[in-house]
Amino acid sequence: MKRFVIFVLLVALSVLALYRWNEQRNPPFRPEKFTPAEGAKLDLNDVKVLAAMEEEYTKLVDAVVPSVVSITASRKVPMGYLVDPFELLFNRRLRGVPQEREQRSLGSGVIVSKEGHILTNNHVVADVDEVRVQLSSGKEVPAKVIGTDPQSDIAVLKIDGENVTPLPLADSDQVKVGQRVIAVGNPFGLEETVTQGIVSAKGRRAMQDSANEFFQTDAAINPGNSGGPLVNLRGEIIGINNAIGGQTGNWAGIGFAIPSNVARRTMDSILKTGHVVRGYLGVVIQPLTPDLAQQFGVKDARGALVAEVTPDSPAEKAGIKSGDVIVKFNGKNVRDVQDLRARVGEIGIGEKADVTVKRGDMESTLTAKIEEQPENLQAGPSRAPANPLQPQIPQQPAMRGALAGVTVNEIPPDHRGDLPENVHGVMVAEVDPNSPAAESLQAGDVIEEIDRQPINSVKDYDRIAQSLNGSEKHMLFIARGRTRSFVVLQPG
């Protein structure tokens, strides 16, 4: 009996010890005392300006978002052929079935008319088979591509215009740096995303091959925002979001938007004519480098140098000549080649424009009547003839000075088809890679002038080239393919 009592006590003590050990490891839950803060830290009457700003921002967003759409564009991409395994098994002639996969891209757009017209980027809908638009209500509808313009990267779509809410386009010429804006779009497929910032800069060149100047903004723009609106505080579109700055492909504090005036002109032209009508002055222009500015007696390198004037063009009729430096267009300073192209594109067809040129020491203002750009106008980089001239015998004696190492011949008749119609001069047959002229000339170039002196034959070239000082800069007027330009020979 005594042993049994001791056994029971030991068991009880063990159970109690186990309970205490378990209680220490897993203490029982006890409700925490929690006393929340009472009321807001600030009364809205104490931050009236911030409260008003918050309310007004939400009003702005509520007014804008219904006009912004998400765009899904799709196309079929070939993936090769699918071969029947039985063909392989029985060694039959293989017959493949072409396979395709659907490739989708996302973008944004903004409704700009009661009929359902939508502005977006050309690159959002370029070369696609189908475009669908999702409205802010969640409804998804098909969209028709009315017209596109790769040069400005603007496209016009249209959906059923029933119960749509358009946004107005502002005058982007009135936009100021520092102005507050919001961007609305579909980044990464996240519809109706709103970001805010300011206009960081105007007149940016985001892409070298673009016809536009851009607004720069720090409102967050990411993949999928393309084609969405950049909106001012009045709920007006001042730009169409277009590109992201930086190397990562994602927002880094710099985004670019196409000014609304560019988008409006492009859209109006597409709706009225089915294509984009651009102004035409009729000049071949090139950048005015510091060396060329010195040769033409221009104090700084601002402006666009006229390399060639197209016969019977508005420029020729106005009196513009090769070698003129265009410094103003319609009263606005011309910074460079891209600036002039943008200014000409802003002028309506048939309108007159004042063109201020520097010609030597003289500055004059001429009047040109802008015409529509010809459909067959080919713009692009200079190109050399397909088969550059090979050295012939006899050649001119070895040159000294600035053109040392350059061999030329008369222009062969079978090469004139690759050159301007009225070309004259001599064709470069060979350029010594160690020659000072190797940086400016290449085989196939036609030298038409040296230091503004015309070249009509090898004899003219020999006479002028032999007299050049190799320690000085000299200017040549050349034709490379069908494109003419001025180049400067650096001292050897």
> Which positions are annotated as active-site residues?
123, 153, 226
Give whole-number Cα distances, 295 to 132, 328, 487, in Å: 56, 20, 10
DSSP, res 34:
-
Gap between the terminal Cα atoms of the chain:
123
CA quadruple 377, 383, 388, 391: dihedral sign:
positive
DSSP string of 220-250, one letter each residue: ---TT-TTPEEE-TTS-EEEEEEEE-SSSSS
- How far, in Å, CA of 55 to CA of 61, rounded? 10
Name 370's Cβ contacts closer than 8 Å, sequence gap at least 6: 279, 280, 281, 314, 344, 347, 348, 349, 350, 351, 352, 353
Look up tokens 């016969």; give the residue.
Answer: 311
DSSP, res 29:
P
- How far, in Å, CA of 214 to CA of 260, rounded? 10
Please provide the size of the chain in residues.
492
3-class SS of residue 374? coil
To 10 degrees, what angle do helices 337-346 and 260-273 make?
A: 50
> What phi-psi label fits residue 225: left (phi over 0), alpha (psi between -120 and 50 degrees) or beta?
alpha
What residues form DSSP beta bridges with 284? 308
- Tell me what percent of the chain is helix, strand and coil, each rounded to the nearest 5: 25, 35, 40
DSSP, res 417:
G
What residues form DSSP beta bridges with 181? 197
H or E stretch covering 265 = helix 260-273
Is residue 152 within 8 Å of residue 140, measured between CB atoms?
Answer: no
3-class SS of residue 480? strand
Is residue 111 within 8 Å of residue 184, measured between CB atoms?
Answer: no
- How far, in Å, CA of 463 to CA of 455, rounded? 10
- Extract the tokens encoding 245: 């700055």
Name 76's Cβ contacts closer than 8 Å, sequence gap at least 6: 100, 101, 102, 103, 129
